């Protein structure tokens, strides 16, 4: 069975299911993309890692990583191996003392863990042929990443933070993380990154 290596492209609000999000994976050596509908908690777990935020308390996926590290278990890869009735099924391919162990997992959890273990994400060619889509870059924003309310909030947030100093922004980001308001923390982090990039 041929396996295709994937990477995380981003997350947006789902346009088909209220309260859900679309996780978008892209093949590393091709143009096909794979949208996967996931829940809010899993989306948050993925965004936190993508934005390199450090929550004050470990989330479930962070706890899993700490537990695995403590007992000498490494996550070698995740494999999206089945697609039935619109649902993706994944496996965690773990290694401990040269023994390979395979654990069934929801795809959203598998991706959140892959980001924490810095391990590759694979999908079978058969599934990619069934569920993968090809979108030109010029069409991408309108089709998979529409201007959602969350994005409008981020634009508004960028405007409200423009008059604040870098130190004030960092303090606000830490405060948002302590309150576990990760969307606000990510918006502030984006503003900090923009300013620091300008100063380089």
Encoded tokens for 18? 């209220």
d(C-alpha 130, C-alpha 154), whole Å? 34
d(C-alpha 38, C-alpha 116), whole Å? 18
The answer for 28, left when phi > 0, alpha when psi is -120 to 50, beta otherwise, is: alpha
Tell me the pLDDT tens digit for each residue of 135-159.
755 444 433 443 334 444 443 444 5
Tell me the pLDDT tens digit for each residue of 73-113.
999 999 999 999 889 999 999 999 989 999 999 999 999 99
Least confident range of 1-10, 24-33, 173-182: 173-182
Eight-state DSSP code of residue 73: -
Asked if residue 119 has pLDDT above 80, the reply is yes
Asked if residue 9 has pLDDT above 80, the reply is yes
Tell me the pLDDT tens digit for each residue of 15-73.
666 667 889 999 998 889 999 988 888 888 898 888 888 787 888 999 999 999 999 99
What's the whole-model pTM score?
A: 0.70
More confidently predicted of 14 and 78? 78
Give the pLDDT of residue 121.
97
Give the pLDDT of residue 156.
46
Give the pLDDT of residue 39.
85
| Superfamily of domain 3-143 in the CATH hierarchy | Bifunctional nuclease domain (3.10.690.10)
Asked if residue 133 has pLDDT above 80, the reply is yes
Provide the 10 A C-beta neighbour count for residue 158.
Answer: 14
Query: How do the domains of the chain map onto residue ranges?
Result: 3-143, 149-199
Give the pLDDT of residue 160.
61
């Amino acid at each position: 069975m041929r396996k295709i290596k994937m990477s995380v492209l981003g997350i947006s609000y789902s346009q088909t299911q209220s309260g859900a999000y679309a996780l978008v994976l892209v093949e590393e050596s091709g143009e096909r993309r794979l949208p996967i509908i996931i829940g809010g908690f899993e989306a948050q777990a993925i965004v936190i890692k993508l934005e390199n935020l450090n929550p004050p308390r470990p989330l479930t996926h962070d706890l899993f990583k700490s537990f695995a590290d403590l007992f000498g278990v490494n996550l070698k890869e995740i494999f999206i191996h089945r697609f039935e009735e619109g649902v993706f099924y994944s496996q965690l391919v773990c290694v401990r003392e040269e023994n390979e162990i395979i654990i069934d997992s929801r795809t959203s959890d598998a991706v959140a863990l892959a980001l924490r273990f810095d391990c590759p994400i694979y999908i079978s060619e058969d599934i990619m042929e069934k569920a993968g889509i090809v979108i030109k870059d010029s069409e991408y924003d309108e089709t998979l990443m529409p201007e959602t309310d969350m994005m409008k909030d981020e634009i508004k947030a960028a405007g409200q933070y423009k008059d604040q100093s870098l130190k004030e922004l960092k303090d606000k980001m830490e405060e948002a993380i302590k309150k576990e308001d990760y969307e606000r923390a990510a918006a502030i982090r984006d503003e900090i990154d923009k300013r620091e990039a300008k100063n380089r």
